[in-house]
Amino acid sequence: MAIVRSKRQSRITGWARYSALVVAALLFLVPFYLLVRSAFMREQDLGSPDFHWLPPVWETSNLTGLFDNPAIPMARSLLNSGLIAVTQTVGVLIVSGLAGYGLARIPYRWSNVVFYGITATLLIPAAVTFVPSFVLVSTLGWISTLRGLIIPGLFQALATFLFRQFFLGFPKEIEEAAFIDGLGYWGTFWRIVVPNSGGFVAAIGTITFIGSWNAFLWPLVIGRDQESWTVQIALSTFLTAQSVQVSQLFMAALVAIVPLLLMFLFLQRWIVEGVERAGIGGD
C-alpha cells in the first residue's frame, strides 16, 4: 500500500518538476525572443500602444541600415571587439599558461612568494583598481588606443592560478620522459604539456573570450573616441543617449550577441568546464 502511494506521489512530483522547469525555461527565453522580434520590427510598430507577438511586417532593412548608417560605427566596433577578444584570449593563454607552468614545475626560491603575491591580488576585485589603472594608462598616452584596451587585460591572476593548479596535477612521469629525451622546460611545455591539455586550454580560452567580448567598464573608460569603441560601448552609447531608432538598436544588439551564441552552441562543453573551474577555484 505504502509503495503504491509513493509511486503515485513520485509521479506527481515528477510532473510538478517538469511543469516548473518548462515555465522557468520559457521565462528565460522570453528576453531572447523579444530581442529577435524587436530587431525585425518597424519603428512605428515598436512604438505603437499594442503589443505585437510577431512583427506585423518583417523589416530586414534594419540589418542593412545598420551597416549603411554613418552615424553608427557598427563595422568598426565589431572589428575592434573581435581584435581585442582574440588577442586577449591568445595573450592570456600564453602568459598565464607559461606563468602557471613555471610556478607549478620550475623549482625556484621565490616561487611561493610570487604565487602568494598573485593569489593575493585575487582578493582585490579588478574593477576596484580601475581608477589607478586609468591614471597609469592615460600617463602612457594609451587612451583611445587598442593598446590601452588590450594590454592591461593580458595578465590575469585567476587564469594563472588555475593553470598552476592544473599543471600540478599533470602526470609528472610524461614530463620526466621528455626530459630524459633532452627536452628542456620550454620544449616540454610546448611539445608535451600543451598538446595534452587541450580541454583545459579550451575551457580557459572560451570563458576569457566571453569575458573580453562582453567587457564594459574598462572599454568605457579607455575608449573615448569613436574609432576605439567596442561593440558594447557603441550599443551603450546609443542606448543611453537614445539617439538612434530603437528597432535598429535591437538589431545591433542581435548582431553583437550572434558570435557568442554560435560559440555557445558549439563549445558549450568547454564553457561549462571553464565556469566550474573559475567559480570554485580549480579542483
Partner 1 sequence: MLADPAFRSSLVTFLAFAVFIVPTTFVISLGAALLVARTRVMQSFFRSVFFLPTACSYVVAALIWKMSIFSGIRSGLANGVLGWFGIDSIPWLSLADPPWYWLVIVTARLWLQVGFYMILFLAGIQRISPTLYEAAAIDGAEGWKVFRHITLPQLRATSTAVLLLLLINAFQAFDEFYNILSTFGTYPPYARPPLVYLYYTALGSGQDFGHGSAGAVILTLIIAVIAVAQGRILRLGDRGE
State the nearest-atom distance from the C-beta of 94 to partner 1, in Å: 23
Interactions with partner 1, residue window 201-230 (CB under 8 A): 210, 213-214, 216-217, 220-221
Interactions with partner 1, residue window 31-50 (CB under 8 A): 31-32, 34-35, 38, 46-50
Interactions with partner 1, residue window 74-113 (CB under 8 A): none
How many residues of this chain interact with partner 1, rule: CB under 8 A? 72
**DSSP 8-state assignment for residue 226:** G
Distance CA 185, CA 104 (A): 12
Using CB under 8 A as the binding rule, whether residue 30 contacts partner 1 is answered as yes
Using CB under 8 A as the binding rule, whether residue 127 contacts partner 1 is answered as yes
**DSSP 8-state assignment for residue 72:** S
Q: Toward partner 1, which CB reaches closer, 38 or 145?
A: 38
State the nearest-atom distance from the C-beta of 236 to partner 1, in Å: 5
Using CB under 8 A as the binding rule, whether residue 116 contacts partner 1 is answered as yes
Among 86, 87, 134, 151, binds partner 1 (CB under 8 A): 134
Using CB under 8 A as the binding rule, whether residue 15 contacts partner 1 is answered as no
Q: Toward partner 1, which CB reaches closer, 74 or 235?
A: 235
Using CB under 8 A as the binding rule, whether residue 251 contacts partner 1 is answered as no
Interactions with partner 1, residue window 136-195 (CB under 8 A): 161, 165, 168-169
User: In this structure, are residues 237 and 72 in contact, taking their beta carbons and an 8 Å threshold?
Assistant: no
Where does residue 60 rank: exposed (0-12), middle (13-18), buried (19+ CB within 10 A)?
exposed
DSSP code per residue over 91-141 = HHHHHHHHHHHHHHHS--TTHHHHHHHHHHHHTS-GGGGHHHHHHHHHHTT
Q: CB-based contacts of 280: which residues, under 8 Å, 6+ apart?
A: none
